[in-house]
C-alpha cells in the first residue's frame, strides 16, 4: 500500500480549517488512510487503497476532507482552458512507448513543501499505479523554457546528447542508461530497442528520455517555476489519462490553472486532459439492503456529496457524477461503499445472526478428499500451487496459444492470469525444486479457471487432478500405471485414445475417456517444453477433471 508523508500545517492550509490532531487520526479513515507516525509537523500515512492515486498526496487528501468537513460538497469542478499548443507524436515511438497525454498548469506558486508533495505524488503514481514506470511514467517540466511545438520521437542510442537531471555534463542516450542512477534503475524498459523515446522541443532542447530521466534544463522545477508542462507516457491511454488527471488536479489545489494540449497522432488528434465527469447509477433499495442500515434518500444524497459526488434522483435510482481521476467506481456497489465510508463503518451496529445453518462438505470436496487419499496411497506427494500464474508459464513455455482469464489490473505480470491447467504449475514447481533428489512423484488437486461465455461471469471453475513424475527412466507406461491405480480404486472404467499434442512427445500421449467423454490427458512431456522450464530429467504427467468423474 502507498505510504506518504505530509505536513500537518500544509494540510490545514489546503483544507481551510483548523484541525485537531487527535480528531484527524479518526478523520483520516475517511480517505482510506491510517496514521503510522507523527513527528512534530510531519505525518506518515499508509493509504489502504491502491485504486485511489488521487489520495496519494496532501492535495488529494485535503480535497476529500473538505467534503467530509462540509466545506465543499459535491464533485470538485476543474476548468480546463485551451492552449492550442501541440505535441506531435512520431510513428517511430509505436514500437517502443507508443502513447502520451499532456497538459499545462500555469500561475503556480511553489514552495519547498509543495515541490516535495509534487515529487512524492509523481513517484508514487509511477511506482504503484504505473507499475514502476512501465504502464505510466510522468514528466514535469518548466513550461517557460520550452519552445513549441514539442515532438515525441525516437533517437538512436549514440545519436543524441543531453544533460540528464542532476548532471551538468552532456551524455549520449546510451551513456545515460549506463551511468545515471535512474538509467540503471529504469533503462531495462527501453534498452532492448534500437531507438529510445525522446521529448524534444522545436529548438532541439531535449525535455526527457521517458520513462528514464528528464533533462537538467527543462526538467528542473524549483521555487522560481511558475508554469509547468506535464506529460505521461506509456502503452495504454486509460492508465495515462488517470495519471495525468491525478497530477494536474493536485497542482490545481496549489492555485494553478489547467490548460489542454493537442496530442497529434498522424491524422488523429486527442486533447488532454479530459476531465469530463463520469456517471453511474444505484438503486436506493439495493444500497440499503447491502449496507443493512435504514437511510432516507436525503441522507444517502448528503453522504455521497460529502464523498465528492454530484448527486441527482432518477426515479428510485440515485445518479452520481464524479471526476475521472477515479477509476475505482465499477458498479453500484462501489457507490454503496462510498455511502458506508461517509456514514462511518464504526457507526454501523452489528446484528446477531438469526438464521443458523449446518455446514457440511460439498460432494465435490468429499470426492476430492477420497482421490487425495488414493494418490497418497500409491506413493505420491501432494503439492499446492497458486491459482494465479503468468502467460509465460501457462502458454509460452508450454508452446500453446489458447484463451486464458486475465486479471484486468494485475500487481505483477508474474500473477496476471488464472491458471487453465495444473500441468504448467506442476512443471514450474519441479523447476524450482531441482535441488531435491529425484525421482519426484507429485500430485495436486486444485481449481482451474477457463473462459466460458455461457456463464454469468464469463468464466467456469473446474476441479482438476494432476499427477507428475520426474525420473531418469520415467515414461508413458509408468504414468499410465498410476492412472490405472487411481481409476481402479474409484471403480471407474476408462479408455485411452492416442492424440497429437505438441506439449507431449509424439506417439506418447492420449486422451482419457469416460462414458464417451474426454475427461483428461496423459503423456510424456516434450523435451522442448522441459528445456523452457530448465528441466533436464524426463517428465510424464496426467491431468483429469474431477467434476466430470464425479458425474460419472
Residues 6+ apart with CB under 8 A from 147: 201, 202, 203, 205
Do 58 and 161 lie in one domain? The reply is: no
Report whether pLDDT(470) > 90.
Answer: yes
pLDDT band at 434 (very low <50, low <70, confident <90, very high): confident
Q: What's the grid cell of residue 407?
A: 486479471
Residue found by looking up cell 499446492 in the block: 384
331, exposed or middle or buried, with CB in 10 Å at 0-12, 13-18, 19+? exposed
- Over the range 164-181, which residues count as b (16 or more CB within 10 Å of their CB) and which as e? bbeeeeebbbbbbbeebe
Are 251 and 120 spatial neighbours (Cβ–Cβ below 8 Å)? no
Between CA 342 and CA 302 the distance in angstroms is 9
Report whether pLDDT(394) > 90.
Answer: yes
Q: Assess if residue 407 is contained within a domain.
A: yes
Do 34 and 87 lie in one domain? The reply is: no
Do 93 and 238 lie in one domain? The reply is: yes
Do 446 and 320 lie in one domain? The reply is: no
Region of poorest pLDDT, from 128-142, 272-286, 346-360: 346-360
Do 109 and 258 lie in one domain? The reply is: yes
Between CA 31 and CA 47 the distance in angstroms is 8
pLDDT of residue 25: 87
Q: Assess if residue 73 is contained within a domain.
A: no
Between CA 397 and CA 9 the distance in angstroms is 55
Q: Domain boundary at 288, 316, 347, which?
A: 347
Do 416 and 476 lie in one domain? The reply is: yes
Angle between helices 8-15 and 112-124 (to 10 degrees): 90
pLDDT tens for 214-231 read: 999 998 999 999 999 999
pLDDT tens for 27-72 read: 899 988 999 999 999 999 999 888 899 999 999 999 999 999 999 9
Q: Assess if residue 91 is contained within a domain.
A: yes
pLDDT of residue 275: 95
Report whether pLDDT(159) > 80.
Answer: yes
Q: Assess if residue 179 is contained within a domain.
A: yes
Are 265 and 91 spatial neighbours (Cβ–Cβ below 8 Å)? no
pLDDT tens for 446-456 read: 999 999 988 88
Residues above pLDDT 70, as percent of the chain? 100
Do 112 and 230 lie in one domain? The reply is: yes
Do 164 and 308 lie in one domain? The reply is: no
Between CA 463 and CA 384 the distance in angstroms is 13
Do 394 and 282 lie in one domain? The reply is: no
Enclosing domain of residue 424: 363-551
pLDDT of residue 102: 97
Q: Assess if residue 358 is contained within a domain.
A: no
Q: What's the grid cell of residue 41?
A: 509537523
Q: Domain boundary at 347, 371, 390, which?
A: 347
Segment 488-511 shows an average pLDDT of: 93
CATH of the domain at 41: 3.30.56.10
Residue 209, strand partner residues:
213
Do 180 and 206 lie in one domain? The reply is: yes
Q: Domain boundary at 323, 347, 371, which?
A: 347
pLDDT of residue 316: 87
Segment 71-86 shows an average pLDDT of: 95
Q: What's the grid cell of residue 61?
A: 487528501
pLDDT tens for 232-270 read: 999 999 999 999 999 999 999 999 999 999 999 999 999
Question: Angle at the Cα of 242 (from 84 to 65), degrees rounded to 5?
Answer: 110
pLDDT tens for 306-349 read: 999 999 998 889 999 999 999 899 889 999 999 999 998 888 88
- The three-class DSSP label of residue 497 is strand
Report whether pLDDT(355) > 80.
Answer: no
pLDDT band at 441 (very low <50, low <70, confident <90, very high): very high
CATH of the domain at 482: 3.30.930.10
CATH of the domain at 202: 3.50.40.10
Q: What is the 3-state secondary structure (H, E, C) of 371-423?
A: HHHHHHHCCCEECCCCCEECHHHHHHCCCCCCCCEECCCCCCHHHCEECCCCH
Are 121 and 114 spatial neighbours (Cβ–Cβ below 8 Å)? no
Number of domains forming the structure of the chain:
4
321, exposed or middle or buried, with CB in 10 Å at 0-12, 13-18, 19+? middle
- The three-class DSSP label of residue 168 is coil
pTM of the model: 0.70
pLDDT of residue 349: 85
φ/ψ of residue 498, rounded to 5: -55, 140
Segment 144-151 shows an average pLDDT of: 96
pLDDT band at 84 (very low <50, low <70, confident <90, very high): very high
Q: What's the grid cell of residue 138?
A: 510522468
Amino acid at each position: 500500500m502507498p505510504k506518504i508523508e505530509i505536513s500537518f500545517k500544509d494540510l490545514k492550509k489546503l483544507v481551510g480549517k483548523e484541525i485537531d490532531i487527535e480528531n484527524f487520526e479518526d478523520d483520516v479513515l475517511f480517505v482510506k488512510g491510517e496514521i503510522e507516525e507523527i513527528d512534530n509537523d510531519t505525518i506518515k500515512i499508509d493509504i489502504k487503497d491502491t485504486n485511489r492515486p488521487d489520495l496519494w498526496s496532501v492535495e488529494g487528501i485535503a480535497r476529500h476532507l473538505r467534503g467530509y468537513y462540509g466545506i465543499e460538497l459535491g464533485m470538485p469542478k476543474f476548468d480546463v482552458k485551451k492552449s492550442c499548443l501541440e505535441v506531435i507524436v512520431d510513428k517511430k515511438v509505436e514500437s517502443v512507448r507508443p502513447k502520451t497525454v499532456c497538459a499545462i498548469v500555469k500561475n503556480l506558486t511553489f514552495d519547498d513543501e509543495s515541490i516535495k508533495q509534487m515529487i512524492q505524488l509523481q513517484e508514487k503514481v509511477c511506482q504503484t499505479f504505473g507499475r514502476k514506470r512501465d504502464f505510466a511514467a510522468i514528466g514535469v517540466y518548466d513550461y517557460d523554457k520550452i519552445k513549441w511545438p514539442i515532438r515525441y520521437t525516437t533517437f538512436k542510442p549514440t545519436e543524441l546528447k543531453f544533460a540528464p537531471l542532476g548532471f551538468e555534463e552532456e551524455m549520449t542516450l546510451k551513456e545515460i542508461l549506463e551511468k545515471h542512477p535512474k538509467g540503471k534503475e529504469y533503462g531495462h524498459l527501453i534498452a532492448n530497442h534500437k531507438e529510445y523515446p525522446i521529448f524534444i522541443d522545436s529548438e532541439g532542447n531535449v525535455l526527457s528520455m521517458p520513462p528514464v530521466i528528464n533533462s537538467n534544463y527543462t526538467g528542473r522545477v524549483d521555487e522560481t517555476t511558475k508554469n509547468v508542462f506535464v506529460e505521461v507516457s506509456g502503452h495504454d491511454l486509460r492508465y495515462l489519462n488517470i495519471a495525468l488527471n491525478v497530477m494536474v488536479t493536485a497542482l490545481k489545489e496549489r492555485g494553478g490553472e489547467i490548460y489542454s494540449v493537442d496530442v497529434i497522432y498522424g491524422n488523429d488528434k486527442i486533447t488532454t486532459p479530459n476531465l469530463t465527469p463520469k456517471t453511474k447509477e444505484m438503486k436506493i433499495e439495493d444500497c440499503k439492503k447491502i449496507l443493512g442500515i435504514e437511510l432516507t434518500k436525503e441522507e444517502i444524497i448528503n453522504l455521497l456529496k460529502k464523498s465528492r459526488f454530484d448527486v441527482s434522483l432518477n426515479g428510485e435510482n440515485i445518479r452520481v457524477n464524479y471526476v475521472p481521476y477515479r477509476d475505482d467506481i465499477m458498479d453500484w456497489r462501489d457507490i454503496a461503499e462510498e455511502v458506508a465510508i461517509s456514514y462511518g463503518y464504526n457507526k454501523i451496529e452489528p446484528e446477531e445472526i438469526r438464521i443458523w445453518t449446518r455446514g457440511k462438505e460439498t460432494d465435490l470436496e468429499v470426492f476430492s478428499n477420497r482421490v487425495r487419499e488414493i494418490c497418497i496411497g500409491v506413493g505420491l506427494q501432494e503439492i499446492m500451487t497458486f491459482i494465479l500464474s503468468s502467460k509465460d508459464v501457462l502458454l509460452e513455455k508450454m508452446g500453446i496459444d489458447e484463451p486464458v482469464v486475465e486479471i484486468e489490473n494485475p500487481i505483477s505480470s508474474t500473477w496476471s492470469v488464472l491458471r487453465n491447467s495444473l500441468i504448467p504449475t506442476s512443471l514450474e514447481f519441479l523447476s524450482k525444486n531441482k535441488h531435491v533428489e529425484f525421482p519426484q512423484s507429485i500430485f495436486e488437486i486444485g481449481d482451474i479457471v477457463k473462459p466460458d461465455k455461457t456463464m454469468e461471469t464469463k468464466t467456469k471453475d473446474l476441479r482438476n487432478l494432476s499427477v507428475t513424475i520426474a525420473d531418469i527412466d520415467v515414461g508413458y507406461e509408468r504414468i499410465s500405471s498410476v492412472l490405472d491405480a487411481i481409476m481402479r480404486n474409484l471403480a471407474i472404467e476408462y479408455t485411452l485414445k492416442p492424440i497429437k499434442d505438441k506439449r507431449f512427445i509424439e506417439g506418447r500421449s492420449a486422451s482419457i475417456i469416460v462414458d464417451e467423454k474426454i475427461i483428461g490427458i496423459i503423456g510424456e512431456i516434450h523435451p522442448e517444453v522441459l528445456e523452457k522450464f530448465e528441466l533436464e530429467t524426463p517428465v510424464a504427467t496426467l491431468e483429469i477433471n474431477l467434476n466430470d468423474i464425479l458425474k460419472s
